[in-house]
Amino acid sequence: MGKTLKPAKRIRILIVDDHPLVREGLTARISAQADLEVCGEAEDVEGALTEFQTRDPDLVLVDISLKNGHGLELIKQIKAHSPSAKMLVISAYEESFYAERALRAGALGYISKQECRENIIIAIRTVLDGRRYLSPRMTDHLLGLAVGGREPASVSQVDKLSDRELEVYQLIGHAQTTSSIAKQLHLSPHTIDSHREKIKAKLGLQNGSELTRHALQWVLENR
């Protein structure tokens, strides 16, 4: 009798998203592929790091906005722990703003949730192959920056914020107080106040009320 062939090992994927329905939909789509499986789920940075260390996935799908924390910070922490880790950002936020930041943080690709239904498996396989995945429009944009440089007029005010400042700015836009932001980011209120001052200076805002209105409007426009 011939030897029984062992089933091929399936590629393991960790999903990090704070919406259960999104995780459910991604799991169904991924599990429909014979060689892919979801090995774990998480809704925040702490849970994601625990799952990553426990499950040792081949790929991590990361949302930008998490229950506690920020996707960019998670990407940096995973990359520091495991430089060879492969990560793909899947987010509702505007690609033209976050994709470049995600790549700088250590992700290999970025796909919007609007594009996800048709192209998520293509994006996953592209990143698993060690190649970058971006929309054609974003690829052209980044190539243009690399070749010709960015014109100062094309840089929005919010683009000037560091990743941490952007994280604080986004939480302000979700109407969170300094103390709640400090608790969520595991920083002191004094540090958050310092970030607020830097954000106001970079955005040309005069006071805290103006900062809050500006951040609320930005969040509404970039959902």
Which CATH number covers residue 210?
1.10.10.10
- Domain end: 101, 121, 147, which one? 147
For the cut 90, the answer to whether the pLDDT of residue 141 exceeds it is: no
For the cut 70, the answer to whether the pLDDT of residue 4 exceeds it is: no
Are 33 and 129 within one domain? Answer: yes
The CATH number of the domain holding residue 78 is 3.40.50.2300
pTM across the whole model: 0.78
Q: How many domains does the chain have?
A: 2
Domain range for 34? 11-147
Mean pLDDT value of segment 102-131:
90
Check residue 146 and give its pLDDT.
58
Are 165 and 217 within one domain? Answer: yes
For the cut 60, the answer to whether the pLDDT of residue 152 exceeds it is: no
Mean pLDDT value of segment 59-69:
89
Are 76 and 41 within one domain? Answer: yes
Mean pLDDT value of segment 176-196:
88
Considering Cα of 114, then 80, then 51, then 37, what sign does the dihedral take?
positive
Is residue 222 within 8 Å of residue 94, measured between CB atoms?
A: yes
